[in-house]
Structure 1
Amino acid sequence: MKAPENIFGTRAAMCLLTALESERNEEARRGLETLVEKNAIPWGEMLPGPVAPLMWDIIDRAGMSSMLKEELRKALEARFIAQTGKNIAMLEAMGKAAAALNGAGIIPAPLKGAALIISGVYARPGRRAMTDIDLLVSPEEFPAAVEAMRGAGFRESAPKRGHHATYAAPPPFPVIIELHRRLFDRDNPVYRYAYGMDGAEAAARASRAAFKGCDILLFSPEDMFLHLVCHAVKERFGSLKFIADARLLKAAFPIDEGKLAAAAEKAGCDGKLRKTVKYVDKVEFIQTDNIIEKYFGPDDNYYIIDRPADVARERSGKERSAFKTVRSAVEEFIYQMSQAEGAARKAAAVALMPGYLRRRWKRRLDVSQDDSN
């Protein structure tokens, strides 16, 4: 079997989609029970990843956790408890940051995980893995926002670069907060023209909400979904977390497909959006027998056998990881070169780019790209 080029179509993705659908669909619930009972879920891949807390909570609340091996059950439960505590601490720090920004007359918009949790897309905070908090302010408000964060005791933990500044929250919890002035780093030659989603336009369409006694902005469901797609494209759809985010967001809110398509076309990612929507709307994944037979055959002990497809997929995964590491190093070098003084160094940065990046760098913009972008 040819190893998938990204997460779509992998066994882990199919198991995740089955788990998500099981909370609304009895057939999917029976399918999930079969996967758990036969130990068909690739825990070796999923346990260290970001969807382990979500998988545990779904399985536990469905009354299936007793079918897991004791060691695995304890590990999953510990992940969920730890993520819950971590998220509570991060949201508490976000409340302090929002209060400081409100004091300066600024209303921030949380992005990604924080926005999904606050808007109720995730039923319980511990289900969504987060490593930091992302807040968006306008470019015009950014200098005042920086001063407000400093005044509230937030310590700058990394140099301001590109589209955001990074802060560590005051004690007792070392929460990281990224303060964004744009949704994507337009200064980075790798992403310069890749994502035209306008943060100012999204903020103008956002609704005001109360959070811990402060005012925040929540993007519309369409803008929230599009931002997730753009971010996933940037990461080459490398995380199962995106599947859960997209699926749950579409289940939680009615999304105007016309508005979403228009915004995606303007942002230059309408093709990726169509493919993404088509995948997250799939229903075939509830056919559990098809998952098992497609990947492993009818053997009840398939999960302990090193089948050729498993070996090939694991090798391909390691190769992709190595490629991503090298690519990140190259992108970082290009970025630093492009920021250096002198036309020669900037020209060298462009010359070092892979062909597809150079074409992206040189092409004219199809949409307006002002500083609000």
Structure 2
Amino acid sequence: MYTLTDTQIEFIQNDIRARGVLMVGLQQDLLDHICCVIEQELDPDGNFDDFYQHRIRTFYKTDLSEIEQETIQLLTFKNYYVMKKIMLFAGAFSVLTMTAGLFFKFFHMPGASFLIAVGIILLSLVFLPLLFTLKIRENSSSRDKIITGVGTFAGILISVGTMFKIFHWPGANIIGILALSIMLLVFLPVYFFSGIRNPETKVNTIVSSIFIFYGCALILMMVRSSAASNQLMRENAEMVLRNENMLSEQQKLTAALVSQSRIDNPSAQSTKLENEQAGQIGLLANQLKQFLIASETGKAQLGSGDMLSDMDAGHYISDSPKAEAQLKNLTGKIQSFNKTSGGNIPEISGIENRKLSQSINDLILVEMAVLQNESAVALQK
């Protein structure tokens, strides 16, 4: 066991002060700790100077004043470790829920949207804000704090904009473009020119900047322009209108055939029964179709110049218990009719997971099949 002299103890105390530790209490704590380490680990005939210089380096990464900075942070920021644990838990749970949500989505399982939303919300409103709060405590320069703040804000906007886009909420494109603009025009230049000035971070800054640029560029490449989106929505509506016109012509033809059949065969009960069953299916399909059109356009029927968005029909159906009940009832009646009457009405299971225009067209096909079935029955009598 080594015994320190008063001169050596004074040397250690002066060296601690010279290395940037100014808090008297912390100086005394470090002095006691270092003295204990030296007396326990250094041999009685060992070299004090060499051992001390080697051992003091194990207390810091850059310089000894880091200990004082961390102490000040702990004293002024008492919830540091609690917030750090919450941040890590939120990040891990966000990854798990997002992974589960993507798995559910690919296999069309219920609950996918909820899990994805929870994952994005945890990332945007818990993980990233806590990460920003902890990072600005660690960064001493104002420039680093600004870079961290701008980057975190852009990251929150990107994740929120993505969630808005997934759920087809209004403002998704505005949020996304704003986020990418901040990332490319504000964060990236400041981050790049600040990082390349430091030789230690120059290479990492260049590589990270390239990844950030191409990540934003690839996202922008997948974004349709406003004109292209409007054109696509108009084409969706025009396709539905064409099918509606065909349905209208089929309704006229079927009405004429059924009317003539009733004149020729007034006692054909089986025809009436089948037509009543098919008519209920056609009525439900028409009601559900009008609900989707009204939810999208505010009108019961499409007109020239109207547009239909690319969102899923389930976005509207899930918000209306009545529409959900109608869809369930319609699906059951179609299956029952096809089984008992040998009909060929197309089934619509999973219609809520299809695009709005496709779902409306599927309902029109159901109405067309009902009319064709009525026409076929009328011609047989």
State the TM-score, normalized to the length of structure 1.
Answer: 0.24
User: Larger strand proportion, structure 1 or 2?
Assistant: 1
Structure with higher helix content? 2
Larger RCO (CA within 8 A; separation ≥ 6): 1
The structure having more radius of gyration, on CA atoms, is 2
